[in-house]
Amino acid sequence: MFEDKIAKRILELPPYLFAELDRKREAARARGMDIIDLGVGDPDRPTPAHIVAAMQREVADAKNHRYPSYEGLLAFREAVAQWYKGRFGVKLDPKTEIVSLIGAKEGIAHFPLAFINPGDLALVPSPAYPVYKIGTQFAGGKAHIMPLAPENGFIPDLDAIPKKVAERAKIIYINYPNNPTGAVATRAFFKKVVAFAKAHDIIVAHDAPYSEIYYDENHKPMSFLEAPGARDVGIEFHSLSKTYQMTGWRIGFAVGNAAIVSALGKVKTNIDSGLFEAVQRAGIAALTGDQKCTEESRAVYLERRDALVSGLKKAGINVKPPKAAFYVFAPTPFGMKSADFCGRLLDEAGVVTTPGVGFGPEGEGYFRCALTVPVARIEEATERIRGVMCEI
Ligand SMILES: *Cc1c(COP(=O)(O)O)cnc(C)c1O
């Protein structure tokens, strides 16, 4: 019933690529197979105790029970400003340059509604987090794909964008540290993006939820706003999900150019009613509390990354360790199609991975493993993958 009434924006969505894998996973589970899930980018470790304790306190306080303010508690936005100053040396005005989000995904998905008219263009990387493209399409816009190639360090080649496209584009999306590739942007690239945006009058939307998950203290990921002039052209999306293992809590924020932030805020005041204030107060505890928990997370992911990379190498998969984020993006063996290879890993080894093609056609030939299971399970997974490799 009502199938004939489904809107075009839904009918035009790409086929859900993981449906077949989901089916295989459930079938394997039903067979009693022990599944190791390296598929989802969802931290397995709990939210740090001091953040949970703050939530327990705040949820009991009736002052938090009413509709929250649209733009977020000023105290939350001040905590964001303080964190940005401490971490990146970037000074933000909590009143005009910060807006709270119900997770970064919410902000990214709604962002195009503020700027994209039907037929407008956005520059979208591929492989990438799917929401940049889908958000653009939901607003009636079109995505011009910027391929991320390994030989460019998975950084888009701005010089390859046709001049006509650049003139028409309204938004350029970038994401570093990058999901799914684990690439980190250089200061030079961010500077180039600012120059490109200024030359063509384009808004930069930088998605940075993995800024705190990195493996080299000497190459900490930068905020886009550290680049000179970035605040004239850009907005940066952030999330507490990955930094503090808070994916289930739904808390993020966007910062940057006051006019861009305000336009996003206007969309949101007409769609949602803000973020539960108890969660915001727990977010303040996260951002202003001891950051040792992030250090511990980095140590955990580093150990897992090294176990996965060495295990995959032993299995004969030629993989480079990522610089940041908690994913390993590895080439499929013998040029196999990513969905075929991931399907075999699931059927024959009970190991769930994500086919690169799920992040766009440019991700074909790769598969993504999330570092969201303990080392012993990663070792078990790579041992099993080695078994499958012997059969291919
Ligand atoms: C996880 C993720 C997000 C979404 O984070 P939430 O705050 O949980 O909505 C956004 N962008 C990328 C690239 C991600 O991997």
Type of residue found at 266: K
Check the CA dihedral 148-152-156-159 and report its sign: negative
CA 252 to centroid of ligand 1, rounded, Å: 9
Distances (CA, A) of 385 to 25, 35, 127: 16, 13, 24
Atom of ligand 1 at shortest range from CA of 251: 7
Interacting residues of 361 by C-beta distance below 8 A, sequence separation 6+: 126
Q: Is 203 helix (H, G, I), strand (E, B) or coil?
A: strand
CA 386 to centroid of ligand 1, rounded, Å: 31
Type of residue found at 331: P
**Nearest-angstrom CA–CA distance, 358 and 338:** 9
Q: Is 256 helix (H, G, I), strand (E, B) or coil?
A: strand
Query: What strand order describes the sheet that includes 142-147?
Result: 98-101, 252-256, 234-239, 203-207, 169-175, 121-126, 142-147
CA 133 to centroid of ligand 1, rounded, Å: 14
Candidate from 42, 105, 131 with most ligand 1 atoms within 8 A of CB, to mutate: 105
Pocket lining: 105 vs ligand 1, CB cutoff 6 Å: yes
Contact 260, 234 (CB under 8 A): yes
**Nearest-angstrom CA–CA distance, 384 and 378:** 10
- Bridge pairing between strands 203-207 and 234-239: parallel
The pLDDT value given to residue 17 = 66
What is the CB neighbour count within 10 angstroms for residue 31? 9
Q: What is the pLDDT along the chain (392 residues), one digit of tens a residue?
A: 888 999 999 988 877 767 777 888 888 889 999 999 999 899 999 999 999 999 999 999 999 999 998 889 999 999 999 999 999 999 999 999 999 999 999 999 999 999 999 999 999 999 999 999 999 999 999 999 999 999 999 999 999 999 999 999 999 999 999 999 999 999 999 999 999 999 999 999 999 999 999 999 888 999 999 999 999 999 999 999 999 999 999 999 999 999 999 999 999 999 999 999 999 999 999 999 999 999 999 999 999 999 999 999 999 999 999 999 999 999 999 999 999 999 999 999 999 999 999 999 999 999 999 999 999 999 999 999 999 999 88
Q: Which residues pair with 98 in a beta bridge?
A: 255
Pocket lining: 180 vs ligand 1, CB cutoff 6 Å: no
The pLDDT value given to residue 373 = 97
Q: Backbone dihedral region of 385: left (phi > 0), alpha (psi from -120 to 50 degrees) or beta?
A: alpha
Give the global pTM.
0.97
Give per-residue burial for 64-90: e unless 16+ CB within 10 Å, then b: beeebbbbbbeebbbbbbebbeebbeb
**Nearest-angstrom CA–CA distance, 244 and 140:** 34
Atom of ligand 1 at shortest range from CA of 247: 8
Domains, the chain, with CATH or none = 3-46+293-391 (3.90.1150.10), 49-288 (3.40.640.10)
Burial class (CB in 10 A: 0-12, 13-18, 19+), 390: exposed
Contact 223, 208 (CB under 8 A): yes
